[in-house]
Structure 1
Amino acid sequence: MDLPEVGRVVEAVLLCADEPMSINQLTKLFAEHDEVDRRLVLQAIEDLQGRWQDRGLALVEVAEGWRFQSRPAMQKYVELIHPEKPPRYSRAVMETLAIIAWCYPVTRGDIEDIRGVTMSSQIIKTLEDRGWIEVVGYRDGPGRPSLLGVTDQFWSDMGLQSRADLPPLESFHDALQADDEAYASLQQEIAITLDEPSAGEGKEGLADTSELTEQLERKSVQD
């Protein structure tokens, strides 16, 4: 099996797949062809990226693997065939998600320290049910509190590979050991990232529509 044929197989499978596929999964498709290895599959992907460069879809790598997704310029047209509105989350949920994404691993107490308010258990449940956060370990200390982190599904839904793709944010661990002024600075950075609430809304109200909020609330379109 030569490179063009490998490319056609990879292209067809990724276009029909419901979820991203890792390079290992793609390589296993050619188990009956000893001449097709990981290197050849990666070369086929690179060729496909070039062939799709000027089209409405792009072949991209996200945390869970490779997938085709619509380019940003196509988003408004794709949304016309998906008229249902994505779920809206409270500002408390969005702030919590932002803190976990930028600062993980963190405990519930860490999040409450940064936000300055007591956090409802429903916030964590909402994000867990969406598949965006999970328990990644436990902190040594009294009660061994759970450490929370974001999932590969979160990065894939955002069209990102890892935290390295996020805008820089002050280190949470540095802020933990600093004074109240450092906490205030970190809170301000998160508030700027999420945008301020719309007029008349309290901190716990629905967040104003912003580019980041829409990105966090809507899965990247794959078709």
Structure 2
Amino acid sequence: MSGEVPDDLVRAVEATLFAAQEPLTREEISRHLRGADVRGALDELARHYAGRGVHLVERGGRWHFQTAPDLAHLLRREKDEVRRLSRAATEALAIIAYHEPVSRAEIEAIRGVQTARGTLDVLMEAGWVRVAGRREVPGRPTLYATTPAFLTHFGLGSRADLPGIGELRAAGLLDPVDEAYAVLMGSDEPETREEDEQEAGSA
């Protein structure tokens, strides 16, 4: 595409993505363009933007433009967070991401403590967790799973890109929930922890 005039379909796909309020699947882009096959156009646009200030990326089957990682710090602005995740919410999010779909009871079994209702509410309000149906067992408990917004926020193409326990520890990302992640991933490290559900309940 560099040095060449892009064809009308490539331009139309580019315009559709720029105008979209949220990431779009290939099928959604195609519907916007009267059923056109947009696979080649997406590949061409991704190559074109690969070395530029914004990249065209696919996260969880959805396409969107994002700032090039090495330039993100230039555009970062102070903004109010919807809510700061408590330790309990952070642990619940990790469990859902690695074990989805899971029920509240299964989350509690892994954490070893009860999970306050507000904990899952915070994750759902952030757009990172969704209801994924019910398990076909007595009581039919609600199941929870992550969303495409979770993948987008953390820069993951799919859940297969989630880091392993060694990578998380090496990057220093396990503090202050190192013990919870260790137990989650099957480490033999002893777990010493204090309950903080009061914080989650008030979040």
Q: Report the more deviating stretch, 105-114 or 155-164.
A: 155-164
Query: Corresponding residue for 1:14?
Result: 17
| Alpha-carbon offset, residue 12 of structure 1 | 2.0
| Alpha-carbon offset, residue 77 of structure 1 | 0.8
Query: Corresponding residue for 2:168?
Result: none
| Alpha-carbon offset, residue 84 of structure 1 | 1.3
Q: Is the 8 A contact 1:131 1:151 kept in 2?
A: yes
Q: Which runs of 5+ in 1 are unaligned?
A: 170-184, 193-200, 206-223
Mapping of 1:1-223 within 5 angstroms? Answer: 4-31=7-34, 37-38=36-37, 41-63=38-60, 65-79=62-76, 82-86=77-81, 87-168=83-164, 187-188=181-182, 190=184, 204=196
TM-score normalised to structure 2 length: 0.74
Tell me how far apart the structure 2 counterparts of residues 135 and 53 of structure 1 sit (CA, whole Å): 35
Q: Is the 8 A contact 2:12 2:33 kept in 1?
A: no
AA aligned opposite 1:25: E
- Pick closer, same or farther for the CA change 1:58–1:203 going to 2, 3 Å: farther
Structure with higher RCO (Cα < 8 A, 6+ apart): 1
Query: Corresponding residue for 1:216?
Result: none
1:118 match: secondary structure: coil
| Alpha-carbon offset, residue 190 of structure 1 | 4.5
How many residue pairs get aligned? The number is: 173
1:49 match: secondary structure: helix
TM-score normalised to structure 1 length: 0.68
- Pick closer, same or farther for the CA change 1:204–1:71 going to 2, 3 Å: farther
Q: Is the 8 A contact 1:155 1:161 kept in 2?
A: yes
1:148 match: secondary structure: strand
2:7 match: secondary structure: helix
| Alpha-carbon offset, residue 28 of structure 1 | 2.4
Q: Is the 8 A contact 1:3 1:44 kept in 2?
A: no
- Pick closer, same or farther for the CA change 1:37–1:53 going to 2, 3 Å: same
| Superimposed CA distance per residue, residues 109-163 of structure 1 (whole angstroms, 9 cap, x where no aligned partner) | 1111111111111101111222222221222333222121112332233332321
Superposed CA RMSD: 2.8
